[in-house]
Amino acid sequence: MANYLFDTNILLRLSDPISANYALARDSTYLLIDQGHKGCFTSQIIIEFWVVATRPTEVNGLGWNPERTKNQINQFLTRFTLLEENPEIFPLWFQLVTDYNIKGKRTHDLRLLAVMKAHNITHLLTFNPDDFIPLPNITIVHPQDFINSQ
């Protein structure tokens, strides 16, 4: 079975039943887990989740208060695996951003790939697969593609 890193957008959609992608996020993550795959996330993803969850709805956030956000994060911590920070991540990230000449916001996405490499995570579940560069031994999966492959 594979280990899947859940991108921030997956956790956000799982937390927002009024989102157009709620059912797709729910169904794909449940199916992954039911098939024996492991769902993971990083501290970076939780930080990004906090930013969007506590941002006002007028600026594309969920408009939650910190208490509600904390409770949702605690639910994730009981259901999925938090990947620990380790000394391998920074050198991997630095190598990736320099090798691929990455600039701006994509730098955050490259750090997720570095965490995946440091933890031997082979799959990333995301609604934005085009945000990530292709790397050997890492498969970027859109939830709909995962469901269609079943």
pLDDT tens digits for the chain (150 residues)?
A: 899 999 999 999 999 999 999 999 999 999 999 999 999 999 999 999 999 999 999 999 999 999 999 999 999 999 999 999 999 999 999 999 999 999 998 999 999 999 999 999 999 999 999 999 999 999 999 999 999 998
Cβ proximity of 28 and 93 under 8 Å = no
pTM over 0.85: yes
CA 71, chain centre distance (Å): 18
Cβ proximity of 131 and 140 under 8 Å = no
Residue extents of the structural domains in the chain? 3-145
Sign of the four-CA dihedral 75, 48, 16, 59:
positive
The CATH homologous superfamily of the domain defined by 3-145:
5'-nuclease (3.40.50.1010)
Alpha helices in the chain (DSSP H): 8-14, 22-34, 43-54, 66-79, 89-99, 106-119, 143-148
